[in-house]
C-alpha cells in the first residue's frame, strides 16, 4: 500500500481503528453506504449497517477486505446506524465495540466477540450497561488494564447526557445548542475502565477533562481546540496521548496526561483539515515507527457519507510533541475543505 492513498476502493470505509495483532495490521472501519439523501447536522446521512474488517500483512502489502463481520440484523437491540467501531484483544478473544441507536433512538455501545481478528463476531444480546453516545475506542495499558473512551456531539448525543440521564433537549434549537456554549467549559469524552469480562464497565463512565495551557478547562466556544468526537488514546515515552476531532473546524488535535483517566492538557494539531467533514482516526506503532490512520472523501469528490480510509507516517519532535501533518502536501495542496 502507498501512504495517503485509499486502502480499498470497492466499498466506502471510514473511522478506521487500526491495531497490530501478531505482526499483522488490522483496520476496523465503519462501512459507508452510498445513497442520494442530503447531509444534515444530526448525522442522518450516515446509514451504516455492517462492518467489514480490513487487513494487511505489512504496510507494503495489498489491503484485504475480509467480508462482512457483523450486521445490524444480528444485533437484537439495534434499530439503525452502526457507526465507528473499535476492537480489543484479551486471552485470545477479540472484542468488537460498536455504537448504534437502540429501539428508542438513543446511541448505545454494544460488544461482539470472536476467536478471530476478522470475525465473524457474535453480538451480546444487549448493549453495555451505562453506555451512551458514539465512537468507542479501547486502550490497553502496560499493566493489562483496558479503558474505553467514547462520545460525540450533535448526532452523537454527547451533550444530552450532562445530567447522567438522557435528556433530549429542545428539538427546535440548532444542533448542540442544548450543550455548553461560549465561555462555558467544553464537554469531553466519557471514559471508564472495562471489567475483566470485557463486556461491562468496572465503574460508571466519567467525563474526561481537557485543559488549556493555563490548567483551565477548554471552552465550548474554542472550536479550534475543544473536543467534538472520535477519541483515541495511545502511549508514547510513558505519556498518555488523547487525540480527537474538533468537528466544526476539521482539525485533528491532541492533549497529553499522566493518567489514562485524565486530566489531559492540550498540546497541538496532529493533522490539518482533510476533504470532508471530520478526521476520525487511530494511531499505531509498527516496526519502530508510528502511523496515523484516517479518512477523507477523495473517492467521492467530497460527499461526506462516502469516505475512504488512508494512512500516513506520524512523527514526534524531541520534546514529545507531534509534528503536524498536512494531508495533501504531496500534491501541493494544504487547504482542501
Positions marked active-site: 15, 229
Q: In angstroms, what CA-CA distances link 19 with 117, 278, 325?
A: 10, 21, 21
Contact 205, 130 (CB under 8 A): yes
Contact 310, 295 (CB under 8 A): yes
Q: How far apart, in whole angstroms, are the C-alpha atoms of residue 290 and residue 293?
A: 10
3-state secondary structure of 329: helix
Query: Is the N-terminal amide bond of 106 cis, ω within 30° of 0?
Result: no
Evaluate the CA torsion angle 294, 298, 304, 309 in order and state its sign: negative
Q: How far apart, in whole angstroms, are the C-alpha atoms of residue 20 and residue 29?
A: 15
Contact 149, 231 (CB under 8 A): yes
Q: How far apart, in whole angstroms, are the C-alpha atoms of residue 275 and residue 327?
A: 9
Partner residues linked to 216 by β-bridges: none
Q: Which three cell numbers, joined as nine digits, stand for 169?
A: 433537549
Contact 327, 337 (CB under 8 A): no
Q: Which three cell numbers, joined as nine digits, stand for 240?
A: 498518555
Contact 126, 109 (CB under 8 A): no
Q: How far apart, in whole angstroms, are the C-alpha atoms of residue 195 and residue 201?
A: 5
Contact 189, 208 (CB under 8 A): yes
3-state secondary structure of 74: helix
Amino acid at each position: 500500500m502507498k501512504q495517503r492513498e485509499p486502502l480499498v476502493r470497492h466499498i466506502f470505509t471510514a473511522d478506521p481503528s487500526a491495531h497490530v495483532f501478531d505482526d499483522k495490521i488490522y483496520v476496523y472501519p465503519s462501512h459507508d453506504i452510498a445513497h442520494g439523501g442530503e447531509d444534515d447536522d444530526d448525522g442522518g446521512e450516515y446509514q451504516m449497517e455492517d462492518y467489514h474488517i480490513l487487513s494487511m500483512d505489512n504496510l507494503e502489502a495489498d489491503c484485504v477486505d475480509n467480508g462482512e463481520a457483523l450486521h445490524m440484523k444480528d444485533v437484537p437491540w439495534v434499530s439503525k446506524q452502526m457507526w465507528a467501531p473499535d476492537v480489543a484483544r484479551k486471552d485470545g478473544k477479540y472484542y468488537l465495540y460498536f455504537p448504534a441507536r437502540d429501539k428508542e433512538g438513543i446511541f448505545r455501545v454494544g460488544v461482539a466477540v470472536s476467536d478471530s481478528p476478522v470475525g465473524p463476531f457474535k453480538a451480546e444480546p444487549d448493549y453495555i450497561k451505562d453506555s451512551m453516545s458514539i465512537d468507542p475506542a479501547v486502550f490497553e495499558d502496560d499493566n493489562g488494564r483496558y479503558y474505553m473512551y467514547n462520545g460525540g456531539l450533535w448526532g452523537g448525543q454527547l451533550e444530552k447526557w450532562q445530567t447522567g440521564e438522557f435528556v433530549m433537549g429542545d428539538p427546535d434549537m440548532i444542533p448542540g445548542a442544548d450543550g455548553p456554549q461560549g465561555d462555558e467549559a467544553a464537554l469531553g469524552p466519557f471514559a471508564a475502565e472495562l471489567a475483566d469480562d470485557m463486556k461491562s464497565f468496572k465503574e460508571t463512565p466519567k467525563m474526561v477533562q481537557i485543559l488549556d495551557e493555563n490548567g483551565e478547562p477548554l471552552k465550548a466556544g474554542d472550536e479550534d481546540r475543544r473536543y467534538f468526537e472520535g477519541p483515541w488514546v495511545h502511549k508514547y515515552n510513558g505519556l498518555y496521548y488523547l487525540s480527537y476531532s474538533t468537528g466544526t473546524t476539521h482539525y485533528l488535535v491532541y492533549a497529553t496526561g499522566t493518567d489514562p483517566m485524565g486530566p489531559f492538557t492540550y498540546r497541538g494539531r496532529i493533522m490539518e483539515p482533510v476533504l470532508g467533514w471530520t478526521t476520525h482516526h487511530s494511531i499505531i506503532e509498527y516496526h519502530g515507527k508510528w502511523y496515523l490512520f484516517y479518512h477523507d472523501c477523495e473517492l467521492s469528490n467530497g460527499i461526506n457519507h462516502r469516505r475512504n480510509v488512508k494512512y500516513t507516517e506520524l512523527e514526534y519532535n524531541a520534546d514529545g510533541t507531534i509534528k503536524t501533518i498536512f494531508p495533501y502536501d504531496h500534491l501541493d495542496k494544504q487547504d482542501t475543505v
